[in-house]
Structure 1
């Protein structure tokens, strides 16, 4: 299996590359600068400069794009649209490293994590930008996409337990009542989805077991 990780130099991207290599996948890191991942193959290119030819031949493309400054938040939508346009009507699957703020907190799907009063105000613009990108992605029937939301507490330096629970559109808690996952365990879930491909056209979520 050939997999490309876009924006692979980020914290999530590097761990996804590492996990994919440990499973024997043929991994290409797509990066803007020097490749600091473990991938032996790399392409130095900005996400917005990628072409259809750059992504041709991959079974899976993982979108690990992320920006946080207010002026760049709209790029969550524009970058995802760009990748979708490049992969439109192809057999290449697109896995999106998503956010937790848009996970639903009720069965009616009328309230989200970001709506709760204890959700940090500083993160609301980011959550809104990522939720908008997800809604736009849902409208794409021409792309084999899967959106993967982490747990509410997404720990960059968390330990790798090797175990996780896969949920769906709603915030899922583990047996301890926690919504937490490490980047390392999240990477396992992403690579599992890359290999199995059971959730095309769906948003799934993951939490530490």
Structure 2
């Protein structure tokens, strides 16, 4: 399977590249830096906003690994994913987006999300709001085979690769220990599983460590 990973030098994207290549996928990484930190065998220096329809032609799936932490950069979550939607519009290529947990629902009516809670850390609020808006904009797109994958609340960069996870939906899901936790490595497994055999087209799904 031939896939592209954009913003590929990010830490989550690196794990996705590694997982995909270990399964024998043909991975092309795109990032704006000179240095290839992604681990991909094929690396193309190109900013996500400069990508064209021609750049992404022929890939079965595109993974959007974009992430921003500075408050002033948060609008780029919507801009980058919508740009990818525009250039993949009307194609059969899947677009899989590394999402956030702040927009997961915490009630059956789907009217309250995680970041609405009184204990949600204020420093993560701009990011949560931006990714929530990103998801809302994706829901308006019926011309793209997108999938938005939210991690658990405790998203651990250096957590172990257990190889086990629970695939869930729109609501914050806890494991048998009452935890909302997943490592980047296990998230990458779930992402590549979705590319390989998933069919959650135009849906948001979530993952938590088993």
Q: TM-score, normalised by structure 1?
A: 0.99
Q: Report the count of equivalent residues.
A: 209
**Alignment partner of 1:55: what SS?**
coil
Aligned to 2:112: 111
- CA distance, structure 2, for counterparts of residue 15 and residue 165 of structure 1: 18
- CA distance, structure 1, for counterparts of residue 99 and residue 13 of structure 2: 12
- CA distance, structure 2, for counterparts of residue 87 and residue 19 of structure 1: 24
Aligned to 2:2: 2
Runs of 4+ deviating beyond 4 Å: none
- CA distance, structure 1, for counterparts of residue 16 and residue 83 of structure 2: 21
- CA distance, structure 1, for counterparts of residue 29 and residue 204 of structure 2: 24
- CA distance, structure 1, for counterparts of residue 37 and residue 75 of structure 2: 26
CA-based RMSD:
0.6
1:12 aligns with 2:2: no
Aligned to 1:98: 99
1:104-141 deviation line (CA, Å, top 9, x unaligned): 00000011000111110111111001100100000000
Aligned to 1:82: 83
Q: TM-score, normalised by structure 2?
A: 0.98
What's the offset of the Cα at 1:64? 0.4
- CA distance, structure 1, for counterparts of residue 110 and residue 43 of structure 2: 40
**Alignment partner of 2:20: what SS?**
helix
Aligned to 1:56: 57
> After the TM superposition, which residues 29-44 of structure 1 pair with which residues of structure 2 at under 5 Å, given as runs?
29-33=29-33, 34-44=35-45
What's the offset of the Cα at 1:28? 0.5
Aligned to 1:140: 141
> After the TM superposition, which residues 171-186 of structure 1 pair with which residues of structure 2 at under 5 Å, given as runs?
171-186=172-187
Aligned to 2:26: 26
- CA distance, structure 2, for counterparts of residue 191 and residue 120 of structure 1: 30
- CA distance, structure 2, for counterparts of residue 50 and residue 13 of structure 1: 17
What stretches of structure 2 of length at least 5 have no aligned partner?
Answer: none
1:7-50 deviation line (CA, Å, top 9, x unaligned): 11110010000000011100011111111122111111000000
What's the offset of the Cα at 1:196? 1.0
What stretches of structure 1 of length at least 5 have no aligned partner?
Answer: none
- CA distance, structure 1, for counterparts of residue 199 and residue 51 of structure 2: 27
